[in-house]
Amino acid sequence: MSHQLVIVLDFGGQYNQLIARRVRECGVYCEVFSYKTDIEKIKELSPAGIIFTGGPNSVYESTSPTYDKQILSLGIPILGICYGAQLMAHLSGGTVEHAESREYGRTQTYYNKNSELFSGASGLGSEGITWMSHTDYISKLPEGFEIIAHTDSCPVAAMENVEKKLYAVQFHPEVNHTDHGTQILYSFVRRICGCTGDWTMENYAVSAIADIRAKVGDKKALLALSGGVDSSVAAALLAKAIGDQLTCIFVDHGLMRKNEGDEVEQAFSGWGINFIRVNAADRFLGRLAGVSDPETKRKIIGEEFIRVFEAEAKKIGAVDFLVQGTIYPDVIESGLGDAAVIKSHHNVGGLPDYVDFKEIIEPLRMLFKDEVRRLGHELGLSDVLVNRQPFPGPGLAIRVIGEITAEKLDILRDADYIFREEIAKAGLDTSINQYFAVLTNMRSVGVMGDGRTYDYTLALRAVTTTDFMTADVAPLPYDLLGRISARIVNEVNSINRIVYDVTTKPPATIEWE
């Protein structure tokens, strides 16, 4: 698939994925690479632009991430963000020092609207709020650069060298807290880099289908279908590409939510594809017996998945390709530039080191979650499938804390069903991005029917997020929480206490395990 490319060079910034997503929202294809990527590789890729990310280090320390300063002389437009701005100044002969007072959070910033970077940012005025996060600052401007933005305490909030096509901002334009930040990135990639905006899901679908047909030829492919957004979209893409050469196998591992196995089977029954449901609950629960460590759970489930697929593939005969719904955040988080490792280890639980297929196809591995949803709509999938909430590959295994038993799973299924039902009745199911119940491993004393109980504590989790990299707690009304609590305690055995998780991400993750 050939597209104009903008590269994000990651220097350890927490927003590396978000920068790439924002660039793609501008209609420009973007990939994240480690700062360790060789400059010859950069030249081979011939990007239209390069973005240096932020990072936690100080550029003047000898052990801090850096790059060959030759990159500044390639004639390729470069935008430095935060640490990336300081690195550009440092490599260009400027001075970066520790600031007397750190600048963090929303900051009033003053722009030079004559700047090429800012004049092309629609809606941006001569001043506005930016998101700052730095303890160092550019104290001496490099030769050939001009200051194009400042704050009350930061003299170089942005700078540019138009002749060399070098631009830098001390703030983070990629976060929502920065006013018109996406427009600033749009100005860089579309105006300064000259990108035309050829990155669309319509174009991607056409290219991906052609690539899959060329790769698979007249061979057969097996798709691991969970019923989630990613695997469903992958199934639709493969179905259009190779038709009945594809077999979709849905492994019901006994770790699904209430009625979910039947719902997945029904959803795909009218697709005209080879669909096989494998009921393997006993097999998975047997392997998980006595296991409490979450990483061990994931590895066991990942290995059992692939062994089931291999067994089913042998029944079908001569299956060369295994298809997975791996997406780009999985690739980035598994280690930048380690594509070979990613292919032998599943993005959720980890495939075993040996996989009995000729090759693994991951048609969504370069897409973010929102792009996967747009692709799903482009392929004609229903809203029910495309807008389905994320559900972890290990399923309820990582929502039952500690050892997993059939009894615990049944308790959690019933409680989770009530929680989700009440959220839907309250009309909040489309405004909360993810919500679920967790059966903790903690028991506490309670009173029911004038008698003492010693039962499980159930945790409820509901968050709002745009990208699942950060998340806020959904402010559920107390009366709603009260109804949910009363129903669960009265209708589900073995639960006598309900707690609501009010922790954001970070510092917590969305899932508990």
Active site residues: 82, 172, 174
Q: Coil, helix or strand for 307? A: helix
Tokens of 91: 């490599």
Residue from 349, 221, 347, 344 nearest 284 by CA: 349
Long-range contacts of 402-408 (CB under 8 A, 24+ apart): 402/292, 402/441, 403/289, 403/290, 403/291, 403/292, 403/441, 404/255, 404/285, 404/288, 404/289, 404/291, 404/297, 405/285, 406/254, 406/285, 407/494, 408/439
CA–CA separation, 64 and 57 (whole Å): 6
The pairing of beta strand 246-252 with beta strand 127-140: unpaired
Cis peptide before 173 (omega within 30 of 0): no
For residue 397, the 8-state DSSP code is G
Question: Which residues does 504 contact at the CB level (< 8 Å), separation at least 6?
Answer: 463, 470, 471, 472, 473
Residue from 231, 230, 240 nearest 271 by CA: 240
CA–CA separation, 306 and 354 (whole Å): 10
The answer to whether residues 384 and 429 touch, using CB atoms and an 8 Å cutoff, is no
What is the SS3 assignment for 171-204?
CCCCCCCCCCHHHHHHHHHHHHCCCCCCCCHHHH
Cis peptide before 507 (omega within 30 of 0): yes
Residue from 394, 393, 303 nearest 356 by CA: 303
In the chain, the amino acid numbered 342 is: I
Rg (alpha carbons) of the chain, rounded to whole number: 25
The answer to whether residues 223 and 313 touch, using CB atoms and an 8 Å cutoff, is no
